[in-house]
Amino acid sequence: MDQPPIPAAAWDAAIDLRLPGRDSAAVIRTLRARAAAARYKDIGFPAAIDIDYTPVLDVFRELYNNVGDALASTPQGFAHTVELERQVVHWFADLFGLPAGDRWGYVTTGGTEANQAALLTARRRFPDALVYFSHAAHYSIEKITDILGVATNVVLVDEDARGEMDYGHLHQLVTRHRDRPAIVVATAGTTMCEAVDDTTRIQQILDDCGITQRFIHVDAALAGTALAIDGLLQLGPDSPVNSVATSGHKFYGTPVSCGVVLMADSARLARGRHVAYTATLDTTIAGSRSGQAAVLLWHAINEYGVDGHRHRAAAARAVAEYAVHRLTMIGWPAWRHERAFTVVLATPPAAVLERGWNLSRDGARSHLITMPGITMDQVDAFVADLAEVLERSTVVPRQRRRPELVWRAAVNGEDSLLAQ
Ligand SMILES: Cc1ncc(COP(=O)(O)O)c(C=O)c1O
């Protein structure tokens, strides 16, 4: 842990297949060793590391292709895992409160495809709608509006200092465009702060403005499962939310990126074309889809169940709370939203990051994320490094006596104060 990091050039040489004597197994061993060496200090990106997937890794020995609609069709032959995918979709649909007789979804390649599948439905329903989302929305949302040909309909909404949608601004914007249908993309777990946009308030604003042609999608890539378990994010007839996208490699830490899109079956206009040669219904964004991804998610669900995942979320939140406490105790500004795994902190001095800590950084503001599997021990080691650098620094201790200055710099993106 305290050994100096291996220089990047040494790793590059070790994985260069053109060098003599390299075989692919050796290269893979090196790649894994490189990732393992960095893992302890990799606390900035949201991937759980506590679930053991080795019992199902044999499924990677052959191709399993879940082409086509997961619920309404089955690929020919047996080189697929659609039965398990169906179980996954139903498990998520139950979790998010979709009625048994009116649900649709599938296992996607990740959060982006899940968002795209949902927004495709929204656009089909309301082709002339304006698409509202906040500056804090994930970059995939803007890209998707481009792919769907509705980039010119985008209306960007301000975010508040803690990353949540500014509802006053949304109200103003919707009021200005009350003659247009609205697609609103809320985020449940924004990338930087893990803020959760309030869909009840969004619904209220649309009601106030008399917008009946509406579609509310929630990008819940990060926080979807944990909030659904808490009963705070639901689909179904009593919910303002029309669709949800969530991720598999974040909270579940699947070793392959994947996600799940969910909505009421009745929300969809297009039922999909039957493709004769695959004997499936074409309703998904991707054609061929990874049968392995479905198996991995199924394994995570099967091994833990709702209670197990509730426990994982609670334990991870406790580590996040601990991190806020430890950082605050050394005078370094840090906070988190109530249920978040994400701890937002003023960007530490470069000397801390040079010790190998991989935080996610956005100017003067950074975050660490205590996804399941990140330990208090790692938090302690990070805080100890930060404290040591602060003790040695001639610049930063002054800032520590004025934490409100550091924090203002962090919120306003004033890099200069924190960079030394
Ligand atoms: C809020 C949010 N939405 C969407 C995505 C995109 O997910 P993916 O990278 O799996 O496509 C992410 C990923 O970081 C995210 O945090």
Q: What is the CATH number of the domain that holds 88?
A: 3.40.640.10
Backbone dihedral angles phi then psi of residue 172, each to the nearest 5 degrees: -60, -45
Query: Structure tokens of 22?
Result: 């390299």
227 and 91 both lie in a single domain: yes
36 and 169 both lie in a single domain: no
What is the band of 270 on the pLDDT scale with cuts at 50, 70, 90? confident
Closest CA relative to residue 352, chosen from 366, 370, 340, 373: 366
Whether 28 shows a pLDDT value over 90: the answer reads no
- The torsion region of residue 353 among left (phi > 0), alpha (psi -120 to 50) and beta comes to alpha
Using the atom order of ligand 1, give the atom closest to the CA of residue 114.
Answer: 11
Domain finish residue from 260, 276, 303: 303
197 and 317 both lie in a single domain: no
- Which residue has a Cα nearest atom 7 of ligand 1? 111
Is any ligand 1 atom within 6 A of the Cβ of residue 257? yes
Query: Structure tokens of 258?
Result: 């994947």
Backbone dihedral angles phi then psi of residue 334, each to the nearest 5 degrees: -155, 150
3-class DSSP state for residue 154?
strand
In the reported structure, the alpha carbon of residue 203 is separated from the centroid of ligand 1 by a whole-number distance in angstroms of: 24
245 and 290 both lie in a single domain: yes
In total, the chain counts a number of residues equal to 420
410 and 295 both lie in a single domain: no
Which pLDDT score, from 0 to 100, does residue 393 have?
Answer: 78
Is any ligand 1 atom within 6 A of the Cβ of residue 221? yes
137 and 148 both lie in a single domain: yes
Whether 13 shows a pLDDT value over 80: the answer reads no
Which pLDDT score, from 0 to 100, does residue 269 have?
Answer: 86
Report which DSSP code applies to 199. Answer: H
- Which residue has a Cα nearest atom 8 of ligand 1? 111
In the reported structure, the alpha carbon of residue 115 is separated from the centroid of ligand 1 by a whole-number distance in angstroms of: 9
The Cα–Cα gap between 213 and 206 comes to 9
Average of per-residue pLDDT across 361-380: 96
In the reported structure, the alpha carbon of residue 221 is separated from the centroid of ligand 1 by a whole-number distance in angstroms of: 6
Is any ligand 1 atom within 6 A of the Cβ of residue 109? no
The Cα–Cα gap between 44 and 342 comes to 9
Domain finish residue from 286, 303, 320: 303
Within a domain: 97:
yes
Alpha-carbon dihedral sign for residues 33, 38, 40, 46: negative
Which pLDDT score, from 0 to 100, does residue 420 have?
Answer: 40
pLDDT digits (tens, 9 = 90+) for 107-129: 999 999 999 999 999 999 999 99
Tally of domains in the chain:
2
Tokens 């998610």, residue located: 297
Which pLDDT score, from 0 to 100, does residue 359 have?
Answer: 95
Is any ligand 1 atom within 6 A of the Cβ of residue 197? no
In the reported structure, the alpha carbon of residue 112 is separated from the centroid of ligand 1 by a whole-number distance in angstroms of: 6
As a whole number, the mean pLDDT across the chain is: 91
Is any ligand 1 atom within 6 A of the Cβ of residue 111? yes
Which pLDDT score, from 0 to 100, does residue 397 have?
Answer: 46
Within a domain: 1:
no
Within a domain: 349:
yes
Backbone dihedral angles phi then psi of residue 255, each to the nearest 5 degrees: -75, 10
Whether 412 shows a pLDDT value over 60: the answer reads no
Contact status, residue 241 vs residue 289, Cβ threshold 8 Å: no
Pairing of strands 280-282, 334-335: unpaired
Is any ligand 1 atom within 6 A of the Cβ of residue 134? no
Pairing of strands 365-369, 154-157: unpaired
Q: Which residues pair with 300 in a beta bridge?
A: none
Whether 419 shows a pLDDT value over 50: the answer reads no
Which pLDDT score, from 0 to 100, does residue 3 have?
Answer: 54
Using the atom order of ligand 1, give the atom closest to the CA of residue 259.
Answer: 10
pLDDT digits (tens, 9 = 90+) for 158-201: 999 999 999 999 999 999 999 999 999 999 999 999 999 999 99
Is any ligand 1 atom within 6 A of the Cβ of residue 246? no
Which pLDDT score, from 0 to 100, does residue 4 have?
Answer: 56
pLDDT digits (tens, 9 = 90+) for 289-334: 999 999 999 999 999 999 999 999 999 999 999 999 999 999 999 9
In the reported structure, the alpha carbon of residue 388 is separated from the centroid of ligand 1 by a whole-number distance in angstroms of: 34
In the reported structure, the alpha carbon of residue 76 is separated from the centroid of ligand 1 by a whole-number distance in angstroms of: 32
Whether 405 shows a pLDDT value over 80: the answer reads no
325 and 193 both lie in a single domain: no
- Which residue has a Cα nearest atom 14 of ligand 1? 191
**The CA-based dihedral angle spanning residues 292, 296, 297, 298, taken in that order and rounded to the nearest 10 degrees:** 90
Candidate from 140-154, 180-194, 238-252, 265-279 with smallest mean pLDDT: 265-279
Domain finish residue from 282, 303, 324: 303
Amino acid type, 166: D
Within a domain: 2:
no
In the reported structure, the alpha carbon of residue 271 is separated from the centroid of ligand 1 by a whole-number distance in angstroms of: 26
Whether 400 shows a pLDDT value over 60: the answer reads no
Which pLDDT score, from 0 to 100, does residue 402 have?
Answer: 57
More confident residue, 277 or 211: 211
Average of per-residue pLDDT across 384-395: 86
In the reported structure, the alpha carbon of residue 190 is separated from the centroid of ligand 1 by a whole-number distance in angstroms of: 9
Q: What is the 3-state secondary structure (H, E, C) of 63-102?
A: CCECCCCCCCCCCCCCCCCHHHHHHHHHHHHHHCCCCCCC
In the reported structure, the alpha carbon of residue 268 is separated from the centroid of ligand 1 by a whole-number distance in angstroms of: 23
Which pLDDT score, from 0 to 100, does residue 404 have?
Answer: 57
Is any ligand 1 atom within 6 A of the Cβ of residue 254? no
Substitution site in 107, 113, 138 for ligand 1 pocket (most atoms within 8 Å of beta carbon) = 138
The gap between the terminal CA atoms of the chain, to the nearest Å, is 24
Closest CA relative to residue 105, chosen from 197, 113, 280, 63: 113
Within a domain: 145:
yes
pLDDT digits (tens, 9 = 90+) for 130-147: 999 999 999 999 999 999
Substitution site in 247, 257, 261, 290 for ligand 1 pocket (most atoms within 8 Å of beta carbon) = 247
User: Could you list the residue range(s) of the whole structural domain that residue 66 is in?
Assistant: 55-303
The Cα–Cα gap between 343 and 368 comes to 5
Q: Which residues pair with 261 in a beta bridge?
A: 106, 245
Pairing of strands 130-134, 280-282: unpaired
Closest CA relative to residue 99, chosen from 223, 294, 234: 234
Report which DSSP code applies to 151. Answer: G
243 and 360 both lie in a single domain: no
Contact status, residue 253 vs residue 47, Cβ threshold 8 Å: yes
Within a domain: 137:
yes
C-alpha 339 chain-centroid distance? 15
CATH of the domain at 330: 3.90.1150.10
Within a domain: 3:
no
The widest CA-to-CA distance across the chain, in whole angstroms, is 71
31 and 140 both lie in a single domain: no
180 and 242 both lie in a single domain: yes
Q: Which residues pair with 260 in a beta bridge?
A: 107, 246
3-class DSSP state for residue 134?
strand
Within a domain: 142:
yes
pLDDT exceeding 90 applies to what percent of the chain?
Answer: 80
219 and 337 both lie in a single domain: no
What is the band of 12 on the pLDDT scale with cuts at 50, 70, 90? confident
3-class DSSP state for residue 353?
helix
Helix (H) and strand (E) counts in the chain: 14, 13
Whether 415 shows a pLDDT value over 80: the answer reads no
Using the atom order of ligand 1, give the atom closest to the CA of residue 247.
Answer: 10
Is any ligand 1 atom within 6 A of the Cβ of residue 191? yes
In the reported structure, the alpha carbon of residue 128 is separated from the centroid of ligand 1 by a whole-number distance in angstroms of: 26
Print burial letters for 151-183: b (CB count within 10 Å at least 16), e (below 16).
eebbbebebeebbbbbbebbbebbeebeeebbb
Using the atom order of ligand 1, give the atom closest to the CA of residue 258.
Answer: 10
293 and 337 both lie in a single domain: no
